[in-house]
Structure 1
Amino acid sequence: MSRPVALLLLLLAPLQALAVETMRIAMGDSQGEVRVSGRGLSFGPDTEDARFSPLSQDGVTVRRRGSRLELNGAPVIGNAVRFRAGADSDDAGVPGSSPLRAGDMQVRGDVVVRLYKDGLQLINVIPLEDYLTAVLGSEMPVSFPPEALKAQAVAARTYALQKKLETYGSPFHMGSSVLHQVYGGVNREDPRTRAAVEATRGEVLTYELAPIEAYFHASCGGRTETGQDALQRDLPYLQAVDCPCGRLPASRWSATVSDSELRAALGQSTEGFRVTSRTPTQRVNRVATSGGASLDGAAFRRKLGYTKLKSLEFDVERTSGGWHFNGRGYGHGAGLCQWGAKALADEGLSYRDILLHYYPGTELQQLY
């Protein structure tokens, strides 16, 4: 049996026992104290077969005292405690359906508070389909056509399961920021996102029987980028394909960077820069600064800021006291283009057709 298939069977083992697939999402860190609240709050150890003990109140404070945890001032055994709302102790192993608030986020499922570095870490243990409902509301406008939302649901589910395989056995599988998939909790849910998730329940994209690395981005500007050029991921299903988003106003942007901003981002000795190479899709591959440094395009964009330089497909000209950029697209450009998915859905394509366009050579499979 190949390693991807063996891991996939291991991944689905909890599903057979609990009738639900879960994700562990890092919500953020706390210095040394966090408030957790929810109706019918209970707590237990951070294990899938834990028995939960009800609390007499709907809110508790977890503090770090040296190398131990305290719950409302009382010591807790172990380096983590898990909370659940609206579930009896007999429901052990099944995430509660009532929302919990931990820190500044309200989420479904369970919340784990664990010792981490010099403070505390919050982890949301949540059913995958509930997680996806909030991810869609965080990652794609809910006003997009249903077929575009369905395509995003499958891509996000596939991405999450691939990350779970990659990090199996770790305290958490992904974060909640743009570095993985943006996840805003209950406040980002919407009836339209839930409908898209339910319509595609259990569907994933695979390549050679394993879930793919289903990267996605907001807008490619008219042609997606290869995985190698965008992410240093030479994957056969992340190829450059034509995209209708190039016709949309949302794919165009401009920005101005002053000389002082450039120096602050790239170094005090920098007075300017020039593009030295581009990828076949005309995205910036490398730049050279006047101070003698050579940077790859991704590093250049990161230093100037992702919201300032929305993509690496840009032209630039020198202005009085600064630099003016005219660009196309928003994001790294690999995989599913969200605005392109909208355009294709508006043209009548199904979510299956959209996915196979942006991830050529993959298969859509019903995993559960």
Structure 2
Amino acid sequence: MLRPVALLLLLLAPLRALAVETMRIAMGDVQNEVRVSGKGLSFGSDTEDARFSPLDQDSVVVRRRGSRLELNGAPVIGNAVRFRAGLDAGAAGVPSSSPLRAGDMEVRGDVVVRLYKDALQLINVIPLEDYLAAVLGSEMPVSFPLEALKAQAVAARTYALQKKLEAYGSPFHMGSSVLHQVYGGLNREDARTRSAVEATRGEVLTYELAPIEAYFHASCGGRTETGQNALGRALPYLQAVDCPCGRLPASRWSATVSDSELHSALGQSPHGFRVTSRTSTHRVNRVVTSGGASLDGATLRRKLGYTKLKSLGFDVERTSGGWHFNGRGYGHGAGLCQWGAKALADEGLSYRDILLHYYPGTELQQLY
């Protein structure tokens, strides 16, 4: 069995000469048709060595007709078609940097439309470094110090490559929502995010030579959480470390939850609702009611909503007709803390120092 690093190098090998690594990002599903547009539009099969044929038009409608695809009413061979913009259509195996629009999203790279269940699925095949420039603009305020943006770039690159390893052989590697990394396409790029990506090009974090699962979050509230407690992942480089974000107003939050909301989350009356156990970083591990309902903290947060219960670092008290939560942090708390990275960068730390603080025991390596 290949070690993760060996498999990653194998995946990269065909692209070494071109110095381009790509990601396949699921943009979402549409019903039975989608419009794809771009200047100098061409199409081909969904393979890395596909030959692209010009369409002589800048817009096309792809429809699903039963178990087949149609392109402007003409049948397409196979269950997927790949589009590329740009008059030269790019080199073989290298998606063009010219923008494409598919549905309501504008992206760089290629767009694949494929049959999926009873609908159509859109996949963006995009050079990794282009993808990262848009991810940074979606995941971290572009006004943050450059060293914080560079730390985020390395974490996002590492996370993406690790997910690509996990998804080897699948139609796509990651989604575009908060469940993976938020990806908003071309409109999320910025000159500062591109600068941060270019300054760290090809750099990844490894542990025992393999890319790590580089989780990150908005704010930990003063101390990060272990991977085991936050994610059920006992990873040696996801440890609880002190963080300066606890001093920032952005790390504090409050929320009011009605009896009916809590009743719905617990499945019974919230009478006697209380926290019964916490992790070593004081995050809520389990809650119970006097009626016997018992729920782990992560499930409670999911049921109440991640935007309402921003973290599990909270205290709760009874109010008239409801419950008041006072909390700290935003997110699961494991790995890189984005507001903490800003604070450390403001103190003069480099992105390398920031990364090694939040992922202890890891190494920064130049993969390509």
TM-score, normalised to structure 2's length?
Answer: 0.98
Show CA shifts across 1:84-115 (max 9, x none): 00043573322111100001110000000001
Q: Label 1:204 to 1:90 Cα distance change in 2 as closer, same or farther (>3 A).
A: closer
Show CA shifts across 1:58-85 (max 9, x none): 1111111111111111110000000000
Shift of 1:122: 0.3
CA–CA separation in structure 2 for the residues paired with 1:109 and 1:258: 46
CA–CA separation in structure 1 for the residues paired with 2:268 and 2:232: 29
1:150–1:196 CA contact under 8 A, matched in 2: yes
Shift of 1:287: 1.2
CA–CA separation in structure 2 for the residues paired with 1:192 and 1:36: 29
Shift of 1:263: 2.1
Indicate the larger mover: 272-281 or 121-130.
Answer: 272-281
1:22–1:125 CA contact under 8 A, matched in 2: yes
1:131 maps to 131
Shift of 1:272: 5.5
Show CA shifts across 1:298-341 (max 9, x none): 11100000000000000000000000000000000000000000
Show CA shifts across 1:39-71 (max 9, x none): 000000000000000002111111111111111
Q: Label 1:360 to 1:61 Cα distance change in 2 as closer, same or farther (>3 A).
A: same
2:89–2:96 CA contact under 8 A, matched in 1: no
2:228 maps to 228
CA–CA separation in structure 2 for the residues paired with 1:109 and 1:338: 28
Q: What SS is found at the alignment partner of 2:16?
A: helix
CA–CA separation in structure 1 for the residues paired with 2:87 and 2:35: 19
CA–CA separation in structure 2 for the residues paired with 1:117 and 1:308: 33
CA–CA separation in structure 1 for the residues paired with 2:2 and 2:117: 36
1:206–1:364 CA contact under 8 A, matched in 2: yes
CA–CA separation in structure 1 for the residues paired with 2:102 and 2:271: 46
1:185 maps to 185
Q: Label 1:74 to 1:178 Cα distance change in 2 as closer, same or farther (>3 A).
A: same
Q: Between the two proteins, what is the percent identity of the paired residues?
A: 90
CA–CA separation in structure 2 for the residues paired with 1:82 and 1:44: 5
Show CA shifts across 1:217-271 (max 9, x none): 0000000000000000000000000000000000000000011122233325544
Q: What SS is found at the alignment partner of 1:157?
A: helix
Query: What residue ranges of structure 2 are gaps of 5+ in the alignment?
Result: none
Q: What SS is found at the alignment partner of 1:89?
A: coil
Q: What SS is found at the alignment partner of 2:24?
A: strand
Shift of 1:291: 4.5
2:274–2:288 CA contact under 8 A, matched in 1: yes
2:142–2:149 CA contact under 8 A, matched in 1: yes
Indicate the larger mover: 10-19 or 343-352.
Answer: 10-19
2:266–2:295 CA contact under 8 A, matched in 1: no
2:5–2:211 CA contact under 8 A, matched in 1: no
Q: What SS is found at the alignment partner of 2:131?
A: helix
2:69 maps to 69
1:205–1:365 CA contact under 8 A, matched in 2: yes
1:274 paired with 2:274, answer yes
Q: 1:44-55 maps to which residues of 2 (within 5 A)?
A: 44-55=44-55
1:264 maps to 264
Q: What SS is found at the alignment partner of 1:168?
A: coil
1:315 maps to 315
Q: What SS is found at the alignment partner of 2:348?
A: coil
1:345 maps to 345
2:90–2:96 CA contact under 8 A, matched in 1: no
1:51–1:89 CA contact under 8 A, matched in 2: no
Show CA shifts across 1:185-231 (max 9, x none): 00000000000000000000000000000000000000000000000
TM-score, normalised to structure 1's length?
Answer: 0.98
Q: What SS is found at the alignment partner of 1:62?
A: strand
CA–CA separation in structure 2 for the residues paired with 1:89 and 1:236: 44
Q: Label 1:227 to 1:146 Cα distance change in 2 as closer, same or farther (>3 A).
A: same
Shift of 1:293: 2.6
Q: What SS is found at the alignment partner of 1:2?
A: coil
Q: Label 1:272 to 1:181 Cα distance change in 2 as closer, same or farther (>3 A).
A: farther
Q: How many residues align?
A: 368
